[in-house]
């Protein structure tokens, strides 16, 4: 402290200082010079003020005030930055440390992409295409057949495709499905060397539970009747097993049977029996058909349908119904 002048902040760098420090710990600025300049502006005069001394005092006060203002401006520029002049040079070690702390993205990264992406990413050695590896293990390798999307220097599996997984050169699994930017997305079919096939469901790399067999079969049966209502008879016909198609006749005869159908709606759907690949459902069907005189005939049926899972899709293998109500609208 000089002449009872207390300085709490360095005017050059803005760092907090104590009243007993003579140098700023951060930028080594001489704080005593700053205190002396302030002291000159604050020291009261005891001399009589005549014309000459008054002029000298005025000049001294003006010079001291100018010094204080200069120091304050330097501090403000240091704290808030200036586009007109670069900041004072600082020790190299300190500059480097501040650069790393303030701009972590500037830190050099490893050139090997696998080190950047992490162990859950695996690359097809032939195409350099990456995809998500849910269970990283030593000795694993892949072969990808499908498209890719470029992201910087890296390529990621994208769209429908087939990935073959190897362990120490031997095939352990073949997956068919859709990838989005290298991530499993949607339903996948997994085939193992024994011939066993399982299915899984994914949302951008995160496996989510598959719906139950009954839920899938119920939805398939609803979709079948929605296709009929929408006039998409080819889609509906393809949802029948080969045996059921033989029962209903060829496609042209099948489609002709719905030529007057306005809607085919299902309700009161319930599960009677369920296994992984077969579901039996009870249902109520309301069918609306156009009559030759322009009216609408409504028929209602109680029925039972059996759906089986074929290559991952639920198909109607048998359906029987009995009409219990009929009227004209």
Q: What is the 3-state secondary structure (H, E, C) of 122-169?
A: EEECCCCEEEECCCCCCCEEEEEEEEEEEECCEEEEEEEEEEEEEECC
Same domain, 8 and 100: yes
**Do both 126 and 88 map to the same domain?**
no
Give per-residue pLDDT as tens, 99-111: 323 333 333 333 3
Q: How far apart are CA 322 and CA 86, in angstroms?
A: 90
- Structure confidence at residue 96 (pLDDT): 35
Q: Which residues contact 32 (CB under 8 A, 6 or more apart)?
A: 2, 22
Q: Which residue has the tokens 């499908």?
A: 146
Q: Are residues 92 and 141 located together in one domain of the fold?
A: no
The span from the CA of 130 to the CA of 160, in Å, is 15
Q: Are residues 222 and 317 in the same domain?
A: yes
104 and 159 housed in the same domain: no
Do residues 15 and 48 share a domain? yes
Do 132 and 93 fall into the same domain?
no
**Averaged pLDDT score across all residues of the chain:** 78
Pick from 56, 79, 108: which residue ends a domain? 108
Same-domain check for residues 201 and 226: no
Check whether residue 184 and residue 232 sit in a common domain. no
* Residue after which a domain boundary falls, among 208, 234, 262: 208
With CA atoms as reference, report the closest residue to 119 among 150, 140, 91, 94.
140
pLDDT, one tens digit per residue, over 129-180 is: 999 888 888 889 999 999 999 988 899 999 999 999 999 999 999 999 999 9
Are 37 and 86 part of one and the same domain? Answer: yes
Q: Which residues touch 238 (CB under 8 Å, ≥6 apart)?
A: none
- Shared domain for 195 and 231, answered yes or no, is no
Domain boundary among 108, 131, 165: 108
Contact 163, 140 (CB under 8 A): no
User: Which domain does 263 fall in, by range?
Assistant: 213-328
**Rounded Cα gap, residues 39 and 68, in angstroms:** 10
Q: For residues 74 and 70, what is the distance between their CA atoms, to the nearest angstrom?
A: 6
Domain count, the chain: 3
Same structural domain, 101 and 9: yes
Instruction: Give residue 123's pLDDT.
Output: 92
- In contact, 114 and 123? CB cutoff 8 Å: yes
Q: How far apart are CA 148 and CA 151, in angstroms?
A: 10
The whole-number pLDDT of residue 177 equals 94
């Amino acid at each position: 402290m000089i002449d009872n002048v207390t300085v709490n902040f360095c005017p050059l760098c803005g760092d907090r200082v104590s009243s007993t420090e003579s140098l700023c710990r951060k930028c080594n600025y001489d704080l005593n010079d700053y205190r002396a300049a302030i002291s000159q502006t604050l020291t009261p005069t005891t001399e009589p003020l005549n014309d000459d001394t008054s002029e000298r005092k005025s000049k001294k006060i003006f010079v001291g005030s100018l010094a204080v203002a200069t120091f304050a401006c330097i501090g403000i520029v240091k704290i808030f930055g200036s586009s007109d002049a670069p900041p004072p040079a600082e020790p190299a070690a300190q500059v480097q440390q501040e650069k790393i702390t303030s701009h972590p993205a500037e830190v050099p990264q490893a050139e090997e992409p696998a080190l950047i992406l992490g162990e859950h990413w695996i690359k097809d050695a032939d195409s350099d295409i990456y995809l998500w590896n849910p269970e990283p293990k030593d000795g694993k390798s892949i072969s990808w057949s499908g498209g890719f999307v470029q992201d910087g220097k890296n390529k990621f599996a994208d769209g429908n495709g087939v990935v073959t997984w190897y362990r120490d050169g031997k095939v352990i699994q073949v997956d068919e499905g859709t990838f989005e930017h290298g991530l499993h997305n949607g339903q996948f079919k997994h085939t193992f060397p024994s011939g066993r096939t399982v299915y899984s469901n994914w949302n951008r790399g995160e496996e989510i539970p598959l719906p139950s067999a009954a839920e899938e079969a119920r939805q398939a049966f609803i979709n079948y009747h929605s296709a009929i209502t929408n006039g998409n008879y080819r889609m509906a016909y393809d949802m029948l097993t080969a045996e059921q198609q033989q029962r209903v006749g060829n496609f042209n005869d099948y489609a002709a049977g719905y030529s007057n159908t306005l809607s085919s709606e299902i309700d009161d759907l319930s599960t009677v029996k369920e296994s992984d690949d077969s579901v039996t459902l009870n249902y109520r069907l309301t069918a609306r058909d156009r009559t030759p005189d322009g009216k609408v005939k409504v028929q209602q049926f109680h029925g039972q349908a059996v759906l089986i899972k074929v290559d991952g899709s639920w198909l109607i293998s048998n359906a029987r119904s009995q009409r219990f109500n009929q009227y004209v609208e």
